[in-house]
Amino acid sequence: MQPVLFRRRQTPTLSQIPLDVPQEPVAFEIRLLLHRISAGFPSPAADYAEEGLDLNDYLVRNKPATFMFTVKGDSMIGASIEEGDKVVVDRAMTPKHDDIVVAVVDGEYTIKRLYRHQGRVELRPENPAYSPIVFTEGIELMVWGVVVGVVRRYPFRG
């Protein structure tokens, strides 16, 4: 990865050091139903499974280079990444314009959308309440990895 330059500091939105995804994670297969769920009007449900879905296979493309972070803050809510979510990050991917990335800014982890256009580089939040981090010559930006998935658990209301 090529370092990019920056000047401004923003509060990080990741709350912990990345956790390794085990090389040989225990597979737990969830049944994936053939019938798609309507988010509008309800429709009759199919009563059979299409195939099994292993979440490790679905979310992890490169096991040795994949890590998870727990998100803290609301700067990425426009990208459906909320406080408490786990983001799956692949360090082997080359970050491209418009990717959601984990970067290190002034020694702190942050999660933002990478913007690169005509020599301009920014880390942009997905919440209008926050300003982008604009990079200029002279200081290095380290993109730690590219976000490839999000895991969210809803609270139990029993």
> Which residues are marked as active site?
75, 112
Residues near 10 by beta carbon (within 8 Å), at least 6 away in sequence = 105, 110, 123, 130, 131, 133
| Spatial distance between the Cα atoms of 29 and 53, rounded to a whole number of angstroms | 5
Q: Cα–Cα distance between 158 and 151 in angstroms, integer?
A: 21
